[in-house]
Amino acid sequence: MIGFALSVNFYLSLFILAMAGALDNVSVVIRHTILQLFTPENMRGRVSAVSTMFIGSSNEIGAFESGTAAKLLGLVPSVIFGGLTSLTSVFIVGAQFKSIRTLDLSKDPNAEKQA
């Protein structure tokens, strides 16, 4: 998104937005897969419902935050700031939670619970 904010070429901007959308879809599939794999079977409906509520409300809160940042900082600086904030949060979470970096989806997390 930082590249999009700094781009002055229409086709480059279009490509960056298309890639951002495609990678966001990949991220959604991975997160939903992890949610389904690591949630006990008897809790999947409840956990999915809560997850959906948080995701839905975070989109609305994010839209409000983006509009406020664009109004206060200007359009391009707000997009750069958002991109830098996203990168910072990824690095912090990656540094603090090694289990996320080393997550192995080939193992069934519920296998030892069922045995």
Residue 86 CB contacts under 8 Å (≥ 6 apart), including other chains: 1
pLDDT tens column, 60-79: 999 999 999 999 999 999 99
Cα distance between residue 77 and residue 25, in whole Å? 25
List Cα–Cα distances, 24 to 1, 42, 68, 97, in angstroms.
12, 29, 23, 22
For the chain, what percent of residues have pLDDT higher than 70?
Answer: 93
Whether 27 shows a pLDDT value over 60: the answer reads yes
Whether 36 shows a pLDDT value over 90: the answer reads no
Burial class for 79, CB neighbours closer than 10 Å (0-12, 13-18, 19+): buried
Specify the pTM: 0.77
Q: Is 66 left (phi over 0), alpha (psi -120 to 50) or beta?
A: alpha
With cut-offs at 50, 70 and 90, classify the pLDDT of residue 25.
Answer: very high
Cα distance between residue 106 and residue 92, in whole Å? 25
Side-chain-facing half-sphere of 57: CA atoms under 13 Å: 5
Mean pLDDT in residue range 17-45: 92
* In the chain, domain spans: 2-104
